[in-house]
Amino acid sequence: MKFNQPLSGNDMPRFGGFASMMRLPTQADAEGLDVAFVGVPLDIG
């Protein structure tokens, strides 16, 4: 069983790359997923 975990700062700098929720790895398609977080980030504060 594969467990998704946040990328380490040693693997990719926190300021670089595509920003994802909780810095979890992203996947282009839904194949093999049991759960997906889908939405639009919103910061109006």
Q: What is the pLDDT of residue 25?
A: 74
Q: What are 6-44's pLDDT values in tens digits?
A: 667 777 676 666 777 776 777 888 888 888 877 777 778
User: How many Cβ atoms are within 10 Å of 23's Cβ, its own excluded?
Assistant: 15
DSSP 8-class letter at 17: S
- Residues 33, 26: Cα–Cα separation, whole Å: 11
What pTM, to 2 d.p., does this model score? 0.38
Radius of gyration of the chain (CA): 13
